[in-house]
Structures are given as structure tokens and as C-alpha cells.
């Protein structure tokens, strides 16, 4: 047999051997990338990345609206007046409240709790509507008296974008969490192989010249299925098959589905392979 295998290896070209290696690697990668837990982790990382980007652009927009609020409150004053300096703190204070509210809302949504109370909605709209009104007013009534339509456009669009970002962020949180929960529901409960408990034999009486030696427990191996399955699913099937065979019966599709969450046809195929390998 070894001579025949060596002869077959010599007949294969180097290109065929490389393709066989790539095919084996592809099977391993498929087993890993098809694991639902990996998809759930990717969705969570994607949600965090999108949320950070939205926070960054929201901060930029709030920084721009700060100038409009200051122009509305103290555009006619000089730096010698205390209100000119205090006006710079109005928009950061409102923005701080808004950011704190959005962080709380995002945390509640990540826990699966809806945030639709009327006071929360009205407070968020007030914090977003006040910069819009002040920015538009300050651009239509500038201290110089000359209205620049480009400035008016920016002072209208940027507060609206900030408003919509604040409204869209909860939707992003909710949809990403729903997608993650759907992936975890499709994966089903993970089944782990129970740890083997040591079995000790009862003490037996023996002559003093020959001390009793405990018999080693018999270990029954269950062959793996021919189909490609992730490691934790294969371990669950192996444990379930060993349990069924200890009961003196064949593995059924219902036994397979009790161990792993698979369709009926796929469960029947796995049961046949486990029974054939016995």
C-alpha cells in the first residue's frame, strides 16, 4: 500500500499538489468563516465602527453650529463684553446635554430596550431645533447687514444634517442589534461536550501478595461524519451518538437535531453517516 501511494504521489505534478493544498486550506477556511458566532462578532465590530464615525461627524457639525449660536447671541458685541465670552458656552452646553442623551439612548437600545418616551423625544428635538433657529436667524440678519446666500445655505444644511444624524443613530443601533440577534438565533444554542467523569471501580479483596489493580474504563470512539462541520458541532454530534449507542439503538434524525440545529434533510444525512460508521 505504501509503495502504491508513493507511486501515485510521483505521478501527480507539482501544480496538482499545490491545488490539493489550496483545496484543503479552502475547506478549513470555509469551516471557520461559516461559524455564526464569527458573523455575530463581525456585526458588532461593524456597529461600533459606524457609531464612532457618526459621533465624529456629529461633533464636527456641532462645532460649526456653535459659531452661528454665538453670532446670534453676541454678534453685535465686542470681546470687552462678558456676554461675548459667555455666548461661546451656550452651544457646547446644549451639545453636551444632547451627546449625553444620545449615549444613554444608544446604551438602552443595545440592551434591547426601546426609548420612545415623549419627554426624551421632545428634549432631543429642542436641543437640535434651537441651534437650527439661531443659525438661520444669524445668517439672515448678519451684523454687517449684507446677506450671503452661501452662508445662509450652510447654516440651514449643517444643523439639519446634525438633526438627522441624531435621529439616524438610534436606527443604526437597533438594526445592527436585530441583525446580530438574528444570526445568534439561526445558530441555535451551542452544545458542548460534557466532561468525562472519572469512574473508579469498587475495591476488591485480593491476596496480600497481589494488590488489586483497578480495571481501566473502556473508551468507545465514535467516528466523525464525512461532511464538513465546525469543531463544536462535530463534538456535539459525537457526544450525542455515543449516548444513543450506549442505549442500544441507532442514531435518528431527531437525535441529530437535539444536538445541533440543522434542517430535517441534513439531519437525516448525518444520522445515516453516523449509523454507517458504527
User: Which of 128, 154, 187 is a domain's end point?
Assistant: 187
Task: Quick: pLDDT tens for 97-116.
Answer: 988 888 888 778 767 677 77
Last residue of one domain, picked from the residues 187, 205, 239 = 187
Answer yes or no: is 213 within a domain. no
Packing angle, helices 149-187 and 36-74, rounded to 10: 160
Q: Is the same domain home to 235 and 182?
A: no
- Count of domains for the chain: 2
Residue ranges making up the domain that contains 272: 231-277
CA distance 171 to 47: 11
pLDDT band at 95 (very low <50, low <70, confident <90, very high): confident
Please tell me the least confidently modeled range out of 31-45, 155-169, 246-260: 31-45
pLDDT per position as a tens digit, 216-244: 444 444 445 555 566 667 777 788 888 88
Beta-carbon neighbour count of residue 91 at 10 Å? 24
As a whole number of angstroms, the distance between CA 130 and CA 132 comes to 5
Same domain, 43 and 164: yes
Residues 48 and 181 in one domain: yes
Q: Would you say residue 164 lies in a domain?
A: yes
Clarify whether residues 139 and 265 are in a common domain. Answer: no
Position 144 confidence tier, pLDDT thresholds 50, 70, 90 = low
User: Do 251 and 179 share a domain, yes or no?
Assistant: no
Domain membership flag for residue 268: yes
The answer to whether residue 188 scores a pLDDT higher than 70 is no
Residue 17 lies in a domain: no
Task: Give me the pLDDT at residue 131, please.
Answer: 85
What is the reported pLDDT for 208? 46
Which of residues 187, 218, 246 is at a domain's end?
187
**14 within domain boundaries:** no
Task: Say if 26 falls within a structural domain.
Answer: no
pTM for the full model?
0.50
Same structural domain for residues 249 and 133? no
Return all residues near 252 (Cβ < 8 A) that are at least 6 apart. 244, 271
Q: What was the pLDDT predicted at 199?
A: 43
Task: Assess whether 182 and 256 both reside in one domain.
Answer: no
Residue 213 main-chain phi, psi, to 5 deg: -110, 120
Distance between terminal CA atoms of the chain?
Answer: 25
Same-domain check for residues 81 and 158: yes
Judgement on whether residues 130 and 258 belong to the same structural domain of the protein: no
Task: Tell me whether residue 85 is in a domain.
Answer: yes
Question: What pLDDT, on the 0 to 100 scale, is given for residue 203?
Answer: 46
Burial of 14 per CB tally in 10 Å (0-12, 13-18, 19+): exposed
User: Per the structure block, which three cell numbers stand in for 228?
Assistant: 464538513
Is 198 inside any structural domain? no
Task: Kindly indicate the confidence band of residue 202, based on its pLDDT and cuts at 50, 70 and 90.
Answer: very low
Domain check: are 236 and 181 in the same one?
A: no
What's the CA gap between 125 and 167, in Å, rounded? 9
Amino acid at each position: 500500500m505504501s509503495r502504491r501511494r508513493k507511486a501515485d504521489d510521483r505521478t501527480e505534478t507539482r501544480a496538482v499538489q499545490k491545488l490539493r493544498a489550496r483545496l484543503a486550506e479552502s475547506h478549513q477556511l470555509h469551516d471557520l468563516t461559516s461559524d455564526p458566532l464569527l458573523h455575530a462578532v463581525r456585526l458588532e465590530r461593524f456597529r461600533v465602527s459606524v457609531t464612532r464615525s457618526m459621533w465624529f461627524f456629529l461633533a464636527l457639525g456641532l462645532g460649526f453650529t456653535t459659531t452661528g449660536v454665538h453670532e446670534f447671541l453676541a454678534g453685535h458685541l465686542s470681546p470687552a463684553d462678558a456676554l461675548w465670552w459667555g455666548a461661546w458656552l451656550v452651544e457646547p452646553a446644549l451639545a453636551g446635554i444632547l451627546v449625553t442623551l444620545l449615549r444613554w439612548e444608544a446604551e438602552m437600545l443595545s440592551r434591547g430596550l426601546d426609548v420612545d418616551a415623549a419627554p426624551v423625544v421632545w428634549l432631543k428635538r429642542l436641543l437640535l431645533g434651537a441651534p437650527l433657529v439661531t443659525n438661520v436667524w444669524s445668517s439672515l440678519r448678519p451684523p454687517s447687514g449684507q446677506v450671503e446666500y452661501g452662508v445662509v445655505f450652510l447654516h440651514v444644511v449643517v444643523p439639519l444634517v446634525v438633526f438627522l444624524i441624531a435621529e439616524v443613530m438610534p436606527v443604526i443601533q437597533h438594526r445592527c442589534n436585530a441583525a446580530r440577534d438574528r444570526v445568534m438565533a439561526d445558530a441555535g444554542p451551542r452544545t458542548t461536550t460534557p466532561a468525562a467523569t472519572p469512574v473508579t471501580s469498587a475495591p476488591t479483596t485480593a491476596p496480600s501478595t497481589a494488590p488489586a489493580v483497578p480495571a481501566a474504563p473502556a473508551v468507545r470512539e465514535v467516528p466523525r461524519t464525512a461532511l464538513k462541520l465546525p469543531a463544536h458541532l462535530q463534538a456535539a454530534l459525537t457526544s450525542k451518538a455515543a449516548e444513543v449507542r450506549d442505549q442500544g439503538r441507532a442514531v435518528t434524525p431527531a437525535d441529530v437535531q437535539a444536538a445541533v440545529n440543522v434542517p430535517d434533510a441534513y439531519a437525516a444525512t448525518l444520522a445515516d453517516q453516523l449509523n454507517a460508521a458504527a
